[in-house]
Structure 1
Amino acid sequence: KSISEGYDIIVLDSISVLLEPVIGSSEKRSWLLNYFYQLPVLLNGLLILVAELPFGEEKLGLGSIEFIVDAMIILKHRVEDGFLTRIIEVRKARGAPIHIAETFFSITEDLGISVFTPPVLAELPVEGGEVKLVCKYLKETAGHYHRGFIINIFYPPGPGIGLEVFLGILALAIINNMKALVISYTHPSLIIRENIKNRLVMSGLSSEKAERVLEKYMIITALNPHAHSLTQLVARELAIIEQVKPDIVVFYGVHLARDHITGLTTYLKELFNEIMYLKSKRLIDIRIGCCLDEYSCNVETTLADVTYKFEKVFREDGSIDTRIYVYRRFKEPRVFMGNYVNECVKEWIEVIREYAEKL
């Protein structure tokens, strides 16, 4: 009846109940399998067979049905970092090479199944064109940036770290006509936005102009890294990036995202694939956080194009100075004092103010 009514797709759910009774009879099983094999030809369409995978098993155990199908997809799940992670495995796809066997998927209301394509590149990408820097001290130590650069900024532990860096990112976006996306792991987007805005107002901008500058050049969002497994977190990040389509991606509070992952090897693998994917898209990747684990920070430094590491120097008279160590690829490390940052902040604010006056 289905064939006579002219359907293009037939879904049989479930084939398990049909095959289980004939597993012991090779003749009946062969007849049934041959029927399924010929049915798509008669349909001139698509036949989808749904089977239940026994819990804990990796194969169906329904005879040779796995060998006659053109494609075989396995849906399963596992617990990762305490969260349920849904996995889709492409076990077979006739005529098509399979480079990635497993990947993450989600089931969303009103959307259905969404499959996450992992950012795995066969070859390492190169960066794009050079971008302008604001601040002569940055030019002296880091030289220059390119689209696709990976930049680490590590601070000593403390609340609300790196607020001045957002001014530098904003100035970088303005002078190069870019858009920056900030993904925060530590503070809500409203808190970060208000603090940047207040800093601009303190520098002489009106509240309205500060708001308009932020509106045009910086989008801020926040994710709770402890509410996702590592795979889910990467998927959420890349989905946001794909939606916003920024030129600069800022991950704020990366120490929290790093610290809750149980397997460092898994984290570094996901990190490397993600930053290489962003580099292939010519996105400047800026990662801001604390060095809670010196080993992890050292590894991440080796992956970056530029790393700025802030350290506090406590003097005998009770004063505190800041030193910034700059690691630029293929160059000897440089160091400059914290007062240089103040000079950079002045230049950043001047660029922002000049643009704001044109609004």
Structure 2
Amino acid sequence: MISQSPRFVLGVESLDDILGKVVDFGALVLIAGNPGAGKTLLASTICYANASRGIPCLYVSLQETKEVFFRHMRDFNMDFGELESRDLFKYYGLPIIMDPELINTLINELSTYSSKYKVLVVDSFTPLSRLIEKNSEIRAILQNFFYNLAKIEKSLVVLVAEIPMGKEALNLGDIEFVSDVVLFLRQCMERGLVTRFIEIRKAREAPVSIGEVPFKIIDKVGIRSFLPPQLEELPSIIRGVSYEYPCKELNEVLGPISAGSSMFVAIPADARSTENYVPGLVSLSLALKHKLKTLVIDYVRPPHTFIDSLLEYAAKKSPRSCDTLKKLVNELVSVEYVNPATMSLEELYTHEIELVRQHQPKLLILNRVDIPSRIHGIEKPEKYFTYLWNELLWFRKRGVTVVRISTYVNRESYLQNSSISETVVRLFKTLREPNLKIYLWSERKTPKIIDFQVLSKCLDEFVYGVCSEKK
């Protein structure tokens, strides 16, 4: 049974957001790029996404055997063998054609499949293009065939083209002009790290304002790419949903924290004692109090250490073993360690969003955000801030409350992070006052400075309350 609404998809969220209306009822899509850029993976993703929705796909390959193709795609969680068993996919291995006159034979053979397989992928179109480049009559016949499939037969036709390494000009002749969508996949090196982009070079009758989309190839997942929210869908904080802190004093000073809002916590860079982690642990206790699924992305510490800090704190404060707290942590909290020095800024951005997609938390704690800021934000601060802002909007749109913990680097960095947060918590000491103080500010509240003991007491109350519950 062929699905009807919408007819076709591209299988990559960001591309469907931008180009969905272009390919909805048939289109000719040209995917070009240098070797290793991800062209075959993108074409296969389009094929798989539509076949999985009940729209049969014919995959014509001039490059690899069916067995190799199937094995490679299983690495990205695409089981074409299962689709083949349901008669939703057919792999058509085609030898390299040396005689231009055989093009008519190829067209006739593909035509026999066109009524059933409404998605056609040709990987790669480049050998065919080179074969017919000097034969204008056969070139016109082949191009008209693909164009008519898309426009008259209302099919989705995807052509993959190889561009020599180091080149970006397509030089594919008329096929570029008759295509409805032209995507160029490119990869570049920055600080020795790979960054991948999809350039949208053409999108017929689509008001495209974003011409370049970063993407990441993830093992067992495939292509992931995310767009910042558009202005017309700019999310507002979910005012109707909020979470109270685990103690009265913080609720009086800050008020409840709204779902989708962002908190920035600054701790002294040169005095990182156990006390400095209390604000993060209070955020974690807030999540446990309201039974919020929580993801901790930690940039400096090994997995579970953030959780261990809370459990160790509880062990010191509670005279008995707190199995209830351990159970809550195990059920609600996940920790992911991310080394931002191993990824480009674009890959880091995509990776973090993918982690949120996978875990689907209601609370996200980012520990030591000064690390990625120093790695990626020094040379290109405007670019880093743009990605940070778009990421926060993406989280807000999905109702994810974000707590960003940083060491205090300098006043400029502190003010920049504070300017995009709804709640600010800063721990500090002065020469006159060696005891730790905490500056608190929340949107629509008057800033206030409190003693550290107030925050510590808040955490104590939560730990005692949970650990005193009867089993």
**TM bucket normalised to smaller:** 0.7 to 0.9
Of 110, 117, 120, 2:229 maps to 120
Q: Is the 8 A contact 2:235 2:396 kept in 1?
A: yes
Aligned to 1:218: 333
- What is the CA-CA distance between 1:24 and the residue it aligns to? 6.4
Q: Which letter maps to 1:136? A: K
8 Å CA contact retained: 2:438, 2:450:
yes
- Within the candidate set 363, 388, 404, 1:271 is matched to 388
Partner of 1:3: 110
Q: Deviations over 1:133-157 (max 9, x none)?
A: 2223322321332111210110011
1:25-44, Cα deviation, whole Å (9 max, x unpaired): 76665455334433556876
Where 2:216 maps in the other structure, the secondary structure is strand
Q: Aligned residue for 2:96? A: none
Distance 1:40 1:236 in 2: 35
Q: Deviations over 1:157-206 (max 9, x none)?
A: 14466332243123312332322221111101232222221111112141
Count of matched residue positions in the alignment of Structure 1 and Structure 2 = 353
For the residues of structure 2 that align with 1:239 and 1:108, how far apart are their CA atoms? 9
Q: Cα gap change, 1:36/1:345 in structure 2, threshold over 3 Å: closer, same or farther? A: closer
Pick from 217, 232, 244 the counterpart of residue 347 of structure 2: 232
Whether the 8 Å contact between 1:170 and 1:352 is mirrored in structure 2 is no
Query: More deviation in 261-270 or 190-199?
Result: 190-199
> 2:363: which partner in 1?
248
Q: What is the root-mean-square deviation of aligned Cα atoms in Å?
A: 2.7
Where do 1:97-176 residues align within 5 Å? 97-109=207-219, 111=221, 113-122=222-231, 123-128=233-238, 129-157=241-269, 158-159=271-272, 162-176=276-290
Between the aligned partners of 2:414 and 2:300, the Cα distance in structure 1 is: 18
Does residue 188 of structure 2 align to residue 73 of structure 1?
Answer: no
- Distance in 2 (alpha carbons) for counterparts of 1:121 and 1:135: 38
| CA contact 1:104–1:116 (8 Å) conserved in 2 | yes
| Aligned: 1:64 with 2:168 | no
1:80-120 deviations in whole A, cap 9, x for unaligned? 34310111123233354434322223334555x41312233
- In structure 2, the partner of 1:15 is 125
Please give the alpha-carbon distance, in whole angstroms, between the structure 1 residues aligned to 2:213 and 2:352.
Answer: 16
CA distance in 2, matches of 1:42, 1:121: 33
- For 1:145, give the aligned amino acid: I
Q: State the Cα distance separating 1:274 from its structure 2 match.
A: 1.0
Quick one: distance in 2 between partners of 1:23 and 1:160?
70
- Residue of structure 2 in register with 1:320 after alignment: 434
2:431 counterpart of 1:299? no
Are the structure 2 counterparts of residues 352 and 80 from structure 1 closer, same or farther at C-alpha, using a change threshold of 3 Å?
farther
1: CA distance, partners of 2:218 / 2:443: 42
- The correspondence for 1:85, drawn from 195, 198, 216, is 195
Residues 54-93 of structure 1 deviation map (CA, whole Å, 9 limit, x = unaligned): 4444431223321101222211112234310111123233
| Contact kept in structure 2, 1:3 and 1:43, CA below 8 Å | no
Say which SS state the counterpart of residue 349 (structure 2) adopts: helix
Whole-angstrom CA distance in 1 between matches of 2:324 and 2:452:
29
Amino acid at match of 2:255: G
Q: Give the drift of 1:328.
A: 2.4
Mark the CA change 1:39 to 1:210 in structure 2 (over 3 Å): closer, same or farther.
closer
Question: In the alignment, residue 237 of structure 1 is paired with which amino acid?
Answer: E
Q: Bigger shift: 130-139 or 255-264?
A: 130-139
Q: Aligned match of 2:306 in 192, 196, 205?
A: 192
**C-alpha distance in 2, partners of 1:209/1:34?**
69
Give the distance between the partners of 2:203 and 2:142, measured in 1 at CA: 22
Check the 8 A contact 1:171/1:351 in 2, yes or no: no
Deviation at 1:312, TM superposition (A): 1.5
Partners of 2:122 and 2:160 within 8 A in 1: yes
**Distance in 2 between the 1:298 and 1:104 partners?**
28
Q: Which ranges of structure 2 fall in alignment gaps of 5 or more residues?
A: 1-107
2:441–2:448 contact (8 Å) kept in structure 1: yes
Q: Structure 1: how far apart are the matches of 2:148 and 2:256?
A: 63
Give the share of equivalent positions with the same residue, in percent: 26
Q: CA deviation at 1:21?
A: 6.2
Gaps of 5+ in 1: none
Query: Does the CA contact (< 8 Å) of 1:167 and 1:349 recur in 2?
Result: no
Say if 1:95 and 1:326 are closer, same or farther in 2 by CA, change over 3 A: same
- Report the Cα offset of residue 220 of structure 1: 2.0
Q: 1:170 to 1:31 in 2, by over 3 A?
A: closer
Q: Relative contact order (C-alpha < 8 Å, sep 6+): which is higher?
A: 1
Contact in 2 for aligned 1:150/1:306 (Cα 8 Å): yes
- Name the TM-score, length of structure 1 as normaliser: 0.87
Residues 203-237 of structure 1: per-residue CA shift (max 9 Å, x gap) = 21415333212113322221111111112112121
Instruction: Say whether the 8 Å CA contact 1:255–1:290 is kept in structure 2.
Output: yes
Q: Which one-letter code corresponds to 2:410 in the other structure?
A: D
